[in-house]
Structure 1
Amino acid sequence: MSQERAGSGGRVQRPRARVPHSPAVYRRRRLVVGVLAVLVLVLLLGFSGLVWPGFLHAQEPEPVPTVTVTAPVPTPAVKSMQRPDGETAFQEALPSAVLQFALTDMVKTDAAEESDATEGWKATYTDGGDLRVRVTATQWSSAEEATTSAEALTKAAGKAAKSGDVKVGDDVVGRYALTREDAGERTMIWRNGTAVLQADGPAEVIEEFYRAFPL
């Protein structure tokens, strides 16, 4: 049943029927709302850029530098021997300590009498415990003679497990050779100019000992 209302002047007014909106109307409304939302977002970004400039120009964080932790160089736990007065320049070049090893004994060799070497020394380095390295150092009058001596020592020690150049800076001053392990020990032989050195000691430390040896 339809409802009727009396209007002013006694006229009867009928309710207006609702006209349904077409899908195009809804699409236009959504488009208007979307455009307004985009405008609001742009205004907010612009305002943020003015108030906080870094917001629009944020830089990527710089990479954290890699930190390399180097273990401290070991030092001897025992005192080295008292060095005698009047040492030769070659004798003084033999260090009192190498890593955890301290010089505990040094005696002159018979190198000068047995060969053409001008000088020779046998030095013993210990860590205060069971580790011991014995170094034989000879000085020659020329690099050629030193080379011959080093090659003879290397041949006598047997086939080398490792060998290479001895360098001082960028200059090659000789060669080194490391023997294979034998009964827990190894021998390192090297030439530095006119000096020839041979170090015998525990296999696990002899290579580091050589690298730290200043001569």
Structure 2
Amino acid sequence: MADRKPGYLTPGFRTPGEKVHQKSSRAAQVRRRRIVLAVVLVVVAGIAVVTAFFWPGFAQEEPEPLPEVTVTAAPPTPTAEPSPLPEDATDFQSAMPDSALQLVRLDVTEGAWIDEADAVEAWDVVYADGSADGARVDLVAGQWSDGDAAAEVYATLLQAAGDPEAEGDVTVGGETVGDYAVTPGATAGESVVTWRNDTAVFQATGPEQLVQDFYETFPM
């Protein structure tokens, strides 16, 4: 073997000290990389949490919409006392209610339909709230011997009343027993509701909304 000069290193050969230093350097690099990777993972996780739950909150559940609450006002009630019916009141008269909405029956007189339209009986009935110049609906009610006669009178009344603003069927217990129509009144802001219930015909006149609500409430 050839002699080596002191201090001469063969290319590619490292002293034990250099090997230890190199291993330590590599270990430090690995630790640094692990630390950097851990920091990056923590930052990414933090961003994900903030994005999901705070802004813009993709992971948060959408709150269920609150149910809509519909407040329905109680129907008005009468404050006046109705006028009593005569002791010999007919069944048809007695079937007419004492009150409808805030209106009470104040006056009942024999109606012209007996002579004008051959009604078996007819009545003019005033429903009002009892106050001076207060709410009022004038009702004409008549009854005929059969449904065909009542239907003819109803058709004649509608022809005289003009074009209906609204119309439809009158039903009792799911069965159609007649028709109704809303027509303009003689003065501004007034309406007329005419309806037939089998052998009976009714016509109510009064302020637009009041008379329509009256019709909806009237039990005949």
TM-score by structure 2 length?
0.69
Of the three residues 168, 190, 200, the one matched with 2:205 is 200
Report deviation, 1:213: 0.6
Report deviation, 1:111: 2.9
1:175 corresponds to 2:179: yes
- Tell me, which stretches of 5 or more residues in structure 2 are unaligned? 1-16, 42-61
Within 5 A, what are the aligned runs for 1:35-74? 66-74=68-76
Of the three residues 8, 13, 20, the one matched with 2:25 is 20
The CA distance in 1 between the partners of 2:36 and 2:165, in whole Å, is 82
The CA distance in 2 between the partners of 1:162 and 1:65, in whole Å, is 33
The CA distance in 1 between the partners of 2:38 and 2:63, in whole Å, is 40
* Greater mean deviation of Cα atoms: 159-168 or 97-106: 159-168
Of the three residues 152, 156, 163, the one matched with 2:156 is 152
The answer to whether the Cα contact below 8 Å between 2:124 and 2:140 also exists between their aligned partners in 1 is yes
The answer to whether the Cα contact below 8 Å between 2:161 and 2:184 also exists between their aligned partners in 1 is no
Instruction: Give the partner amino acid of 1:204.
Output: Q
Partner of 1:39: none
Alignment: residue pair count: 178
Instruction: Give the partner amino acid of 1:147.
Output: A
* Deviation readout 1:160-211 (Å, 9 max, x if unpaired): 1111111123211111111125332111100011110000111231111110
The CA distance in 1 between the partners of 2:38 and 2:140, in whole Å, is 95
User: Percent identity over the alignment?
Assistant: 41
1:99 corresponds to 2:101: yes
The CA distance in 2 between the partners of 1:157 and 1:33, in whole Å, is 87
* Deviation readout 1:104-138 (Å, 9 max, x if unpaired): 00012243344332111110011123221110000
TM-score by structure 1 length?
0.71
The CA distance in 1 between the partners of 2:163 and 2:38, in whole Å, is 89
Partner of 1:163: 167
Of the three residues 70, 89, 101, the one matched with 2:91 is 89
- Residue 204 of structure 1 aligns to a residue in which SS? helix
Report deviation, 1:63: 7.2
The CA distance in 2 between the partners of 1:86 and 1:201, in whole Å, is 29
- Tell me, which stretches of 5 or more residues in structure 1 are unaligned? 1-13, 36-59
Aligned Cα root-mean-square deviation (Å): 3.0
Taking a change above 3 Å as real, the CA distance of residues 189 and 34 of structure 1, as seen in their structure-2 partners, is same
* Greater mean deviation of Cα atoms: 20-29 or 168-177: 20-29
The CA distance in 1 between the partners of 2:65 and 2:33, in whole Å, is 49
Of the three residues 98, 113, 119, the one matched with 1:111 is 113
